[in-house]
């Protein structure tokens, strides 16, 4: 597994991380605990050093899982988690809360669940419109000074929010959606990150599975699967968006690779400080995804993808309206 550094921070991680959310959250049935722990251990054996979780995944159960699975590897891996929400006593999400006092409470909970003394990378999961980002960055700065957090990250933040936060506490990484299925970050986000020396950690780098070619207009998802609510995953839009999958299939066949590997290799080729975090619940997919670091796309390959992608308009919004409204910038 190759290594990459997230921006100017000096935080070195594997070129591909592992998104752990789906093991506990977003599906009808969580992955069996023993299977999930074995999968995480296999990821470590394959050279993955960046593991992504959040307090809201479960809520709380994914942090607990990741903490238990990675306890034997302290000092060898980087665990990233996120705060942003307030919960009732039953764990139901009540809404966003990034008030400084709440951030500190959230971190204490994450430290216990993750079984660590210091959180390697702490993201604000979503921008809270009711709390100035300067206050958020200031709270994390105090946590860094107290030794409870090493690095500060933002998720789904806009360019100006990133700049304002970075002026108070240097931002190590931005985590937002980015793939051939969603290229909006190329407009403002990537130039801003490059200017400021901030790394980029794309989630859903395989377009929530669509870019692998395993999903067609006939595919059905289990009841709890978020894709049931995402407009671009309607059967009609899946048919319309098949053209992207066809493009990847053509190149994959030529390269002796899979669609998913081409999609990940394309992301890795965009910038040397991009570290995608594909998620999976299956060992064979983990191994396949990690194989993307050995797929070389030539300048001609990249130019071909760029030309073809420029003529493709992805059909359907990436989130239902009520969730898009929660994605503050």
- How far apart (Å, rounded) are the C-alpha atoms in residues 50 and 5? 11
Residue 79's nearest CA partner among 141, 135, 122 is: 122
Q: Is 298 exposed, middle or buried (0-12, 13-18, 19+ CB in 10 A)?
A: exposed
Task: Name the phi and psi angles at 215, rounded to 5.
Answer: -110, 130
Catalytic site residue from 25, 57, 151, 182:
57
Active site residue 178: no
**Residue 203: both structure tokens together:** 């989630």
Residue 41's nearest CA partner among 64, 12, 58, 18 is: 18
Alpha helices (H) in the chain, listed in sequence order: 33-45, 61-70, 100-114, 133-145, 159-168, 189-196, 235-255, 259-270, 283-290, 299-310, 321-324
Active centre residues (catalytic):
57
């Amino acid at each position: 597994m190759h290594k990459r550094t997230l921006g100017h921070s000096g935080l070195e991680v594997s070129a591909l991380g592992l998104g752990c959310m789906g093991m506990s959250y977003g599906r009808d049935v969580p992955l069996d605990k023993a299977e999930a722990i074995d999968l995480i251990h296999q990821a470590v054996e394959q050279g993955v050093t960046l593991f992504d979780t959040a307090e809201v995944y479960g809520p709380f159960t994914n942090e607990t899982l990741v903490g238990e699975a990675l306890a034997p590897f302290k000092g060898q891996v980087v665990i990233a988690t996120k705060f942003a929400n307030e919960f009732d006593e039953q764990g139901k999400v009540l809404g966003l809360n990034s008030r400084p006092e709440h951030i500190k409470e959230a971190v204490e909970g994450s430290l216990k669940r993750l079984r660590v003394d210091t959180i390697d990378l702490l993201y604000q999961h979503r921008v809270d419109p009711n709390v100035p980002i300067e206050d958020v960055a200031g709270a994390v700065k105090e946590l860094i000074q107290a030794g409870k957090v090493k690095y500060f990250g933002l998720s789904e933040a806009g360019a100006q929010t990133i700049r304002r936060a970075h002026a108070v506490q240097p931002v190590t990484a931005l985590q937002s959606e980015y793939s051939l299925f969603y290229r909006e970050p190329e407009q403002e986000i990537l130039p801003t990150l490059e200017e400021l020396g901030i790394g980029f950690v794309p989630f859903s780098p395989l377009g929530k599975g669509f870019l692998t070619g395993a999903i067609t207009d006939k595919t059905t998802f289990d009841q709890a699967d978020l894709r049931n609510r995402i407009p671009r995953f309607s059967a009609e839009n899946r048919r319309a968006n098949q053209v992207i999958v066809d493009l990847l299939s053509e190149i994959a066949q030529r390269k002796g690779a899979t669609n998913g590997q081409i999609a990940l290799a394309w992301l890795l080729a965009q910038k040397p400080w991009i570290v995608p975090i594909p998620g999976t619940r299956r060992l064979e997919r983990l191994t396949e995804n990690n194989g993307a670091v050995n797929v070389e796309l030539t300048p001609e390959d990249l130019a071909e993808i760029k030309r073809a992608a420029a003529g493709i308009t992805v059909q359907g919004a990436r989130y239902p309206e009520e969730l898009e409204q929660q994605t503050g910038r």
